[in-house]
Copies of this chain bind each other. A is one copy, B any other.
Amino acid sequence: MKGSFSDFPDAVEVISGNPLKLDSMDQVETRYFNFAEPSENLDLESGEKLGPVTLAYETYGCLNAQKSNAVLICHALSGDAHAAGYHAGEQKPGWWDNMIGAGRAFDTDRYFVLCSNVIGGCKGSTGPASLNPATGKPYGLSFPVITIRDMVEAQRRLIDFFGIERLLCVAGGSMGGMQALQWAASYPQRVRSVIAIATTARHSPLQIAFNEVIRQSIMADRTWRSGDYYDYGPPDRGLAIARMIGHITFMSEASMEQKFSRNRTQVLKGIPFDPEFEVGGYLKYRGNQFVKRFDANAYLYITRALDYFDLSGDRLISPDGVRDARFLIISFSSDWLYPPSQSQDIVRQLKKGQVDVTSCELNSSYGHDAFLVETEGQTTLIRNFLSSSHER
């Protein structure tokens, strides 16, 4: 397979390792990997083909000579390739900076950490807002159906390009955890270990229900125009509602009580039914912020990929699959979106397949958001798990 780096001067050196050693992790940048030849088109689960494809990705730490220390980080629904460090001029680090870096859970002194934006998204990888080469206009709804398997397939190309035969680990929370599980199902021989956090092997009807309302709220916005809004302005109001719904499910009852209780806001006069309680004001704010950084069609495509996800039964570990990958399954006590019971289901499946699995339900009041903020408990578990995986 060919493939090319854009915005990246010395690809050869990357693979040999040194230039990406970032001692401070202070400054990182997103890079782009393209596979553009017709022969390189992605064969999607739907039967359709997708190409050319760009993957936005970042790397932290050095790939060792044996290429045996690579850890692939997979992001959640609205995440991106910028998992750690700082972009030039920005105040906020990547979304999992508390977990990735020198001395951290994913220790960049020891491991070569990669994170790429999923296809179907809108953070640099090819998605419905990308230009359709057949028309020269954004794909919109002519973008093909994407599944979690397809996201993993695109990542596999990137891993191939780096010449990594076997990942030390694939890790992620929420949708990132699904991708990690999918790696084990799609390429059992190419992962030594899997860390799946706050996730499920199968989207439940409740999870589908939330996503359905999320999609309907985007489509109910009359400016959505069947996905063909790029020349007119996006369906901001619908997308903001969608994100508000999401945010409710990311928190726990306890964290809402602690953070907001029934505290009132200052209501703006002249705005009827402006939120009167802090919790409502917070949700509205988060919804309105979100529309500045996310594409509504990408939200439709990715939530659908989530809903399709089903590695229940023997689909996670096929009877003839390789069984020497190890698994670490982490859940959080107050997570009601991807509750501990779903992690227990994963563990049961793995044990039935006679797979080496460690699991832990961490106590947290942060609900589903816990995987982003509960640094200490996760660090202990992940550091030990990675060390023992590395030494095997």
A193-205: CB near B (< 8 Å → 1, else 0) gives: 0000000001111
Q: Does A22 lie at the interface of the complex (its beta carbon under 8 Å from any beta carbon of B)?
A: no
Q: How far is the CB of A50 from chain B (nearest CB, A)?
A: 18
Tell whether, in the assembled complex, residue B244 and residue A276 are in contact, meaning their CB atoms are under 8 Å apart: no
A79-118: CB near B (< 8 Å → 1, else 0) gives: 0000000000000000000000000000000000000000
Q: Does A383 lie at the interface of the complex (its beta carbon under 8 Å from any beta carbon of B)?
A: no
Q: A307: which of B244, B256, B276, B310 is its contact (CB, 8 Å)? A: B276
Residues of chain B lying within 8 A (CB to CB) of residue A280: 208-209, 211-212
Q: Does A273 lie at the interface of the complex (its beta carbon under 8 Å from any beta carbon of B)?
A: yes
Q: Quick one: copies of this chain in the complex?
A: 2
Q: A284: which of B210, B216, B283 is its contact (CB, 8 Å)? A: B216
Q: Does A51 lie at the interface of the complex (its beta carbon under 8 Å from any beta carbon of B)?
A: no
A309-328: CB near B (< 8 Å → 1, else 0) gives: 01000000000000000000
Q: Which of A280-332 contact B (CB under 8 A)?
A: 280, 283-284, 287, 300, 304, 307, 310
Smallest CB-CB A-B distances: 6 pairs = A212-B280, A205-B256, A220-B237, A205-B279, A213-B244, A205-B260
Sample of 9 further A-B pairs with CB below 8 A, known A204-B257, A220-B238: A141-B273, A204-B253, A208-B280, A212-B284, A213-B241, A216-B241, A220-B240, A276-B304, A336-B336
Q: List 17 A-B contacts (CB under 8 A).
A: A141-B273, A202-B262, A205-B261, A206-B251, A206-B256, A208-B262, A208-B280, A209-B279, A212-B275, A212-B277, A213-B248, A215-B273, A217-B217, A217-B241, A220-B220, A222-B237, A241-B241
